[in-house]
Amino acid sequence: MNIHSHMAPRVQEDDKSARIMSAALDLFVERGFHGTAVPEVAERARVGAGTIYRYFESKEALVNALYRKWKQAIGQKMLEGFPFDKPAREQFRQVWLRMGEFALNHRREFAFLELHHHASYLDDASRAIEQQMMGLATTIIQSAQAAGAIRKADPQILIALVNGAFIGLFRAAQEGRAPFTHETFEAAEAVIWQVIAA
Q: What is the pLDDT of residues 39-56, one digit of tens each?
A: 999 999 999 989 999 999
pLDDT tens sequence across 96-129: 999 999 999 999 999 999 877 667 889 999 999 9
Report helix angle 88-105 to 124-146, nearest 10: 150
Strand partners for 150: 197
- Phi then psi dihedrals of residue 150, to 5 deg: -125, 150
Ordered structural domains, the chain, with CATH: 1-56 (1.10.10.60), 65-196 (1.10.357.10)
pLDDT of residue 119: 73
Q: What is the pLDDT of residue 117?
A: 66
Taking the C-alpha atoms of residue 29 and residue 27, their distance in angstroms, rounded to an integer, is: 5
pLDDT of residue 15: 86
% of the chain with per-residue pLDDT over 90:
85
Q: What is the C-alpha separation between 97 and 120, in angstroms, rounded?
A: 29
* Predicted pLDDT of residue 14: 75
User: What average pLDDT score do residues 70-77 get?
Assistant: 94
In this prediction the pTM is 0.86
